[in-house]
Structure 1
Amino acid sequence: MTAGTVADTRSRLLATALKLFREHGVEGTSLQMIADELGVTKAAVYYHFHTKDEIAEAVAAPALRELLEITEAAAAHRRQGARVDHALAGFVDLVVRHRALLALCNSDPGLVRAIDRTLNGLDDFKVRLLDVLAGPDPDLELMISVHVALAGIALAGGSPDLADVDDETLREHLTGIGRRLLRRPRRRA
């Protein structure tokens, strides 16, 4: 098997797993179901992943890596307002592009556990993200607003009730709401 074939198979496996996780939940999806849907043997799935937990972690990993990159890029800005703007725009874009994953995160404890395992030991990341969005010495209202903004954007982005809203419209509304919650001035058209 060539490296390209292995990478392609892995990508197809993760896309199939996400589809099945959305349909049946992480707990309700077996490795055999993933293999059957892909049209491969269970051994082929084992070649890439030994457990369903590993698959769930791998499904979430690209979005989590991207969130880490967004946070670090935002932190590199000199002004607090620029940090907030960068982090918010990046977070909203990430949520919109990964709507299917967020829908699963909002409803499936199996994926939430996988994300927690992936973030285990990255407590400094959580602190860093809050620091980027709230700045030094935030008051309680701003800290609560940051938590509400992050959770609310993620929940709304993955909401089945908003699945028919086009990406650009959703992005616009999530950004506007996030800007208000994070005390950012309204953008001029």
Structure 2
Amino acid sequence: MTAVAQADSRGPERTRQRLIDEACRLFAMHSFAGTSLQMIADNLGVTKAAIYHHFKTRDDILTAVIQPAIEELRGIITTAQAQRTPAGRADAMLSGLVDLTVKHRALIAMIGTDPGVTSALESHPDIVDLFRRPAELMTLDDTPAAEINAVAALAGIATTASSPILQHHESSVLRECLIAVGRRILGIRGRRA
């Protein structure tokens, strides 16, 4: 295949990714509900028909925006589930989730703070179920305290990692601190190096 043919065959992928990137930026600026397909088209200098070529609805774009993080979350859950003990599962889930959250700070902020995103995702039962799994895996026993600790750790991770106040911190520092705090909340010891 010639270089020109390769470039042409990747063109639709590049256009699709540009649409996703611009939608994500506009969702963060104007909210999911406040961003229209026409706004996305106008900002990219394309027609609305060009967007419809790749996505039928805004919900389809939202699904594409969060899909990479969803796939990563599935892998983290699988790894956590494979651990032998409740503490091992909780620690693996915590560590993986912190990595995911730090990597996708803006996306996590959007998912956690935009009611339009929450509402749109409710129409995807598989995603709703997936979002419940981290709390389940981080709950060490059947007590209310363990469940509350798991949810507090999750909320704290998402809120802290996406806070504009902390954006100046290196990802590695943020990661280390979030894991330490999460372990304290959950009442688990860290893994030995």
Q: Is the 8 A contact 2:91 2:190 kept in 1?
A: no
Task: Write out aligned runs for 1:26-175 (5 A).
Answer: 26-118=32-124, 120-121=125-126, 125=130, 128-135=133-140, 137-175=141-179
Distance 2:182 2:88 in 1: 14
Stretches of structure 2 lacking an aligned partner (at least 5 in a row): 1-6
Q: Give the residue type in structure 1 aligned to 2:189.
A: P
CA distance in 1, matches of 2:120, 2:29: 18
- Three-state SS of the structure 2 residue aligned to 1:106 is helix
Contact 1:31 1:45 in 2 (8 A): yes
Q: RMSD of aligned C-alpha atoms? A: 2.2
The amino acid across from 1:34 in the alignment is I
Give me the identity figure in percent.
Answer: 43
Displacement of 1:3 after TM fit? 4.9
Q: What is the rounded CA distance, in whole Å, between the counterparts of 1:61 and 1:72 in structure 2?
A: 17
Instruction: State the 1:114 CA deviation.
Output: 2.7
Q: Note the C-alpha offset of 1:17.
A: 0.5
Q: 1:110 to 1:152 in 2, by over 3 A?
A: same
Asked which structure has the greater RCO (Cα within 8 Å, sep 6+), the reply is: 1
Deviation beyond 6 Å, 4+ runs, structure 1:
none
TM-score computed with the length of structure 2 as normaliser: 0.85
State the 1:37 CA deviation. 1.9
SS of 2:142 mapped into structure 1: coil
Counterpart residue number, 1:14? 20
Structure 1 residue corresponding to 2:184, chosen from 138, 156, 180: 180
The whole-number CA distance in structure 2 between the counterparts of 1:126 and 1:38 is 32
Which of 156-165 and 92-101 deviates more? 156-165
> Closer, same or farther in 2 for the Cα pair 1:125/1:107, shift >3 Å?
closer
- CA-to-partner distance for each residue in 1:110-140, whole Å, 9 max, x for gaps? 112233333x1466545643342224x4221
Identify if the C-alpha distance between structure 1 residues 169 and 19 changes in structure 2 by more than 3 Å, giving closer, same or farther.
Answer: same
Per the normalisation by structure 1, the TM-score is: 0.87
Deviations 1:87-118 (A, max 9, x none): 11110000001101122223311112233333
